[in-house]
Each structure stands twice: as C-alpha cells, then as structure tokens.
C-alpha cells in the first residue's frame, strides 16, 4: 500500500511538484480559489492515469512520458499562475492531448500503411496550407489560425508532422517513392524523386514564408538538413543544399524587412527598448529579476512580459522559479532528446528510424530556437515551447508526436521481447 510512496518512483516527484506548486499559488496569489486545487489534482490524475496505461499496456519507453509530464506540469502551473482561465483551458487541452497521445500510439501501431501513403501527405499538406491561406484569421499578429466552431488552431503544427512523415517515406526507399512502373530508368527515377523531395521542402518553406513563420522555416530546414546528413548517400547533394541556404538567408536579411528587424533587435535590443526591442528586453528583465532561485511562484511580475503564456513562458519560469529551474527545464529537454535518439538508435525499420530522428530533432531544435530566442542567444522567432507553452494546437500536436515516438519505442522493445525496464 505504501509502496507507491517511494522516492524511487519518478512519478512521485511529479506529483509532489504539482502539490507544492498549487499550494504556493493558492497562498501567494491570495485569491484563495479552490479551483486551484482542482486544476492541480486534475493534472496529477491525468498524468498518473496515462502513466498507468503506459505501464499496464506495455507501451514501450516509460521515461519519455515521465519527462514530458514534468514539463507539462511546469507549463500548466505557470500558465495557471499567470492567467487562471488559461490554466483551466490548458488543463482541458492536456486531457485532449493525452487522449490523442494514447490514441496515436495505438493507431500508429495498428495501422501499418504510414510508409506507403506519401502522395496523400503531399496532398494533405498542400490542402492545409491552402485553407490557411484562404480562411486564415489573424490572431496575435500571425495570419495562420483557422477557426472552426469557436475553436482556433494552427494547421502548421500538423504540417510539420506531415513533413517529417514524408521525409521518412522518402528515405525508406529514396528511389522508389514515386514514378514506379512509369518506364523511367533507375537513375532517372532517383533524380526525379530527389527533385520531389526538394520541391516539397521548398513548398513548405514557401507557404510558411507567406505566414511569416520564420521559426518554423528554420525548424523545417534544420530537420531537412539533419535527416539528409544522416541518410543522404550523396555528399555533393548535401553540400549543395547547405550552400543553397546561404543566398536565401542573405536575401531574407536584405529584402525582408521583418527578418532584418529581428536580427537588428537581436544584435542590440537596448537601442529601442520602448519599440522594436520591447519583447526581448522585457524578457531579459524577467530572467534577470529572478536570480538563481527566483522570486517565488506568484511573487514576480512576469505579467509585464508580452506573450508570456506562449513564446515567453520560459522567461516567466526563470523569473519566478529561478535560473536553476530554467536550467533544469533545458536539461529535461536534453534528456528527452537523448531518450528519443536512443530509441532511434535501436529501431530496425528504416521508416520508423527516420521518423523518430525527425521527431526528436524537431523537439530538440524547437526548444533551442525558442529558448535561445527569449534569452537573446539567437534572433527571436515566435514558436512555442513544446509541452509548456499555452495553446491547444501546439500541445495536441506535440502529444501526437510523442505518441508516434512512443509507438516506435514499443516496436523497439517488442524486438527484444517486450522488456520494459531495461535497467541501464
């Protein structure tokens, strides 16, 4: 009975964190709302239930989910502290996300056609971009939201997953993707397929440019380059791709005002604190105010930072929980990347391997791009911090990704006889 209360079980730390955090919020925010505890217990319940499902059904690697649930808890805590209503919504989204996580994990395992429907990926991707272009609403300065039945979401979150699925299809058999049985010679076929890959990548970049999603462009290009580096057989082609990005970046800097502003404010945000440098300087104020241990939950002023729920949530964590928690968060993402790539290393199937690699690098790089942006290490691009930032579509798509990774890990373990605790 008391066996569950052991310090050896990492899940207990997550429960403890939640209990303490919501107690602090309850006391420090002085609104004394009992819904605070409802949110906290809700999250604990969600996390524990999902964890049990993973253990009981032997869904593969348990640490992936443990790391993510810690991040998720920190996210909901911070969002609830900043905005109670948003926190409740985020709890609901967490529920949906976790359902999607388990569902995706099962669907991905049971339906085995994912590597054969490349053409549909292209079609769906184009369709999503086009409806965004046609029906997109402007929310928070970006015209890439679709509103259906009062709920808004960003299709580009799905597009990113589709792009990785497509990459996996391509690298499974680089010269047999399309144009099979159309009478082309092998070399011709290979070249045509390579062309499709490049064109599809450019298509993504092009549509993202229309949406001014520079962060996502950076992300997709990086994944493309990394996967190409690992699986591309042709070094010359790889170098060509690298070289090609240089004029694009230069073009962006000199001719796209938006990018130039981002880079200039990155180099010296202090020149125009009240104007262009506002976001980044406010973020730095928040981070610096926290010190090593933070001001304490509910005791700082992260609400002074714009978009603090989404892009700048890391600054809020640093202000109220301290740089040390900030470092801990970074290390959790590092562990997640490590865990993900470790699974990828053991997977046998080429399709799953590429998919896992793409997903894991996407999580890692997305984290680097946004945290690096808010601490002024690299130019700021507005993307969300996976599992922590407020927002339904971001959270749900991150959980879909995790579901896929979980499913891949299960196959990996299935290969070695369904052993869950490998004891390494």
Partner 1 sequence: MKENKKIIEVLIAICSLFFILVGYLTYIQVFKSKEIVQNTYNRRQYQADENTTRGQIIDRKGIVLAFSEERDNTQQRIYPYSSLYSHVIGYNSKVYGRSLLEESYNNYLLGLDEYTKVFGLFKSSNQDKKLGNNLSLTIDHELQKLGHELLGNRNGAVVAMNPKTGEILALVSKPDFDTNEEVLAKGWKAMVESQEAPFLARATQGLYTPGSTFKVVTAAAIIENGLDEERFNDKGVITIDGKEISNSGRKAYGEIDLKKALAVSSNVIFAQLGVTLGQEKLEDIFRRVGFGTDITFDIPVSKSLFQYEKMEPNDMAAVAIGQGKILVSPLHLAMITSGIANNGVIMKPYLVSNITSPTGKEIKSFKREEFKQIMEPDIAAKLKNMMQEVVDSGTGKKAAIKGIKVAGKTGTAENELTAQKKDKAHAWFIGFAPVENPQIAVVVVLEYSGSSGGTIAAPIAQKIMDNYLKDK
| Cβ within 8 Å of residue 350, ≥6 positions away | 171, 172
Residue 287 within binding range of partner 1, rule CB under 8 A: yes
Residue 274 within binding range of partner 1, rule CB under 8 A: yes
Distance CA 184, CA 55 (A): 50
Instruction: Using the rule CB under 8 A, give the single segment among 9-17, 205-213, 222-230, 382-390 that binds partner 1.
Output: 222-230
Give the N- to C-terminal CA distance of the chain in Å, as an integer.
27
The smaller minimum CB distance to partner 1, of residues 36 and 393, is found at 36
| Cβ within 8 Å of residue 73, ≥6 positions away | 14, 17, 18, 21, 43, 47
The smaller minimum CB distance to partner 1, of residues 80 and 207, is found at 80
Residue 52 within binding range of partner 1, rule CB under 8 A: no
Residue 337 within binding range of partner 1, rule CB under 8 A: yes
Minimal CA–CA distance to 76: which of 64, 61, 87? Answer: 87
Residue 306 within binding range of partner 1, rule CB under 8 A: no
Minimal CA–CA distance to 337: which of 407, 405, 419, 415? Answer: 405
Among 23, 29, 261, 263, binds partner 1 (CB under 8 A): 29
The smaller minimum CB distance to partner 1, of residues 116 and 233, is found at 233
The site map against partner 1 for 57-86 (x = CB under 8 A) is: ------------------------------
**Closest separation in Å from C-beta 26 to partner 1:** 13
| Cβ within 8 Å of residue 71, ≥6 positions away | 329, 332, 333, 336, 386, 387, 388
Distance CA 312, CA 326 (A): 12
Distance CA 65, CA 48 (A): 11
The smaller minimum CB distance to partner 1, of residues 347 and 402, is found at 347
**142: which strand partners?**
139
**Closest separation in Å from C-beta 55 to partner 1:** 27
Question: Rounded to the nearest 10 degrees, what angle do helices 155-172 and 214-231 cross at?
Answer: 10
Residue 291 within binding range of partner 1, rule CB under 8 A: yes
β-pairing verdict for 151-153 and 137-139: unpaired
The smaller minimum CB distance to partner 1, of residues 105 and 365, is found at 365
Instruction: Using the rule CB under 8 A, give the single segment among 229-237, 253-261, 387-395, 402-410 that binds partner 1.
Output: 229-237
Instruction: Using the rule CB under 8 A, give the single segment among 12-20, 188-196, 323-331, 391-399 that binds partner 1.
Output: 323-331
Among 203, 248, 285, 411, binds partner 1 (CB under 8 A): 285
Phi-psi map region of 347: left, alpha, beta (phi>0 left; psi -120 to 50 alpha): beta
| Cβ within 8 Å of residue 180, ≥6 positions away | 189
**Closest separation in Å from C-beta 300 to partner 1:** 8
The smaller minimum CB distance to partner 1, of residues 120 and 338, is found at 338
328-345 in b/e burial notation, b at 16+ Cβ within 10 A? ebeebbeebbebbebbbe
DSSP 388: T
Among 377, 414, 415, 418, binds partner 1 (CB under 8 A): 377
The site map against partner 1 for 252-271 (x = CB under 8 A) is: ------------------x-
The answer to whether 224 and 167 are in contact (CB under 8 A) is yes
In which element (H, E) is residue 327 found?
helix 313-346
The smaller minimum CB distance to partner 1, of residues 143 and 288, is found at 288
Q: Which residues bind partner 1 (CB under 8 A)?
A: 28-30, 226, 229-231, 270, 273-274, 281, 284-285, 287-289, 291-292, 295-296, 298-301, 303-304, 318, 323, 326-327, 330-331, 333-334, 337-338, 341, 344-345, 353, 357, 361, 364-365, 367-368, 371-372, 375, 377
């Amino acid at each position: 009975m008391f066996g569950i209360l052991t310090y050896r079980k990492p899940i207990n730390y997550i429960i403890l964190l939640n209990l303490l955090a919501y107690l602090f919020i309850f006391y420090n925010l002085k609104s004394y709302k009992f819904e605070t505890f409802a949110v906290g217990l809700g999250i604990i319940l969600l996390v524990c239930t999902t964890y049990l499902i993973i253990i009981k059904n032997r869904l593969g690697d348990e640490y992936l989910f443990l790391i993510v649930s810690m991040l998720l808890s920190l996210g909901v805590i911070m969002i609830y502290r900043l905005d109670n209503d948003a926190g409740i919504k985020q709890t609901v989204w967490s529920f949906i996300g976790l359902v999607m996580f388990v569902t995706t994990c099962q669907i991905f395992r049971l339906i085995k056609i994912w590597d054969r429907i490349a053409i549909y990926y292209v079609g769906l991707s184009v369709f999503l971009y086009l409806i965004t272009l046609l029906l997109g609403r402007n929310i928070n300065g970006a015209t890439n939201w679709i509103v259906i039945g009062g709920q808004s979401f960003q299709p580009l979150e799905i597009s990113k997953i589709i792009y990785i699925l497509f990459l996996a299809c391509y690298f499974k058999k680089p010269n047999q993707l399309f144009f099979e049985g159309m009478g082309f010679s092998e070399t011709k076929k290979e070249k045509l397929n390579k062309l499709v890959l490049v064109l599809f990548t450019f298509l993504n970049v092009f549509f993202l440019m229309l949406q001014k999603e520079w962060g996502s462009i950076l992300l997709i290009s990086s994944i493309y380059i990394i996967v190409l580096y690992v699986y591309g057989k042709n070094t010359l082609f790889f170098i060509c791709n690298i070289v090609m990005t240089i004029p694009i970046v230069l073009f962006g800097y000199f001719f796209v005002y938006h990018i130039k502003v981002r880079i200039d404010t990155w180099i010296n945000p202090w020149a125009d604190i009240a104007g262009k440098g506002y976001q980044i300087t406010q973020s730095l104020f928040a981070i610096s105010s926290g010190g090593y241990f933070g001001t304490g939950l509910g005791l700082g002023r992260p609400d002074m930072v714009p978009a603090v729920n989404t892009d700048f949530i890391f600054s809020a964590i640093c202000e109220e929980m301290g740089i040390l928690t900030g470092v801990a968060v970074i290390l959790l993402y590092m562990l997640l990347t490590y865990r993900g790539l470790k699974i990828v290393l053991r997977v046998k199937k080429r399709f799953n391997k590429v998919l896992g690699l793409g997903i894991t690098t996407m999580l890692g790089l997305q984290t680097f791009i946004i945290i690096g942006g808010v601490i002024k290490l690299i130019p700021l691009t507005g993307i969300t911090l996976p599992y922590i930032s407020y927002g339904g579509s971001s959270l749900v798509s991150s959980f879909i990704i995790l579901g896929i990774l979980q499913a891949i890990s299960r196959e990996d373990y299935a290969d070695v006889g369904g052993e869950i605790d490998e004891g390494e």
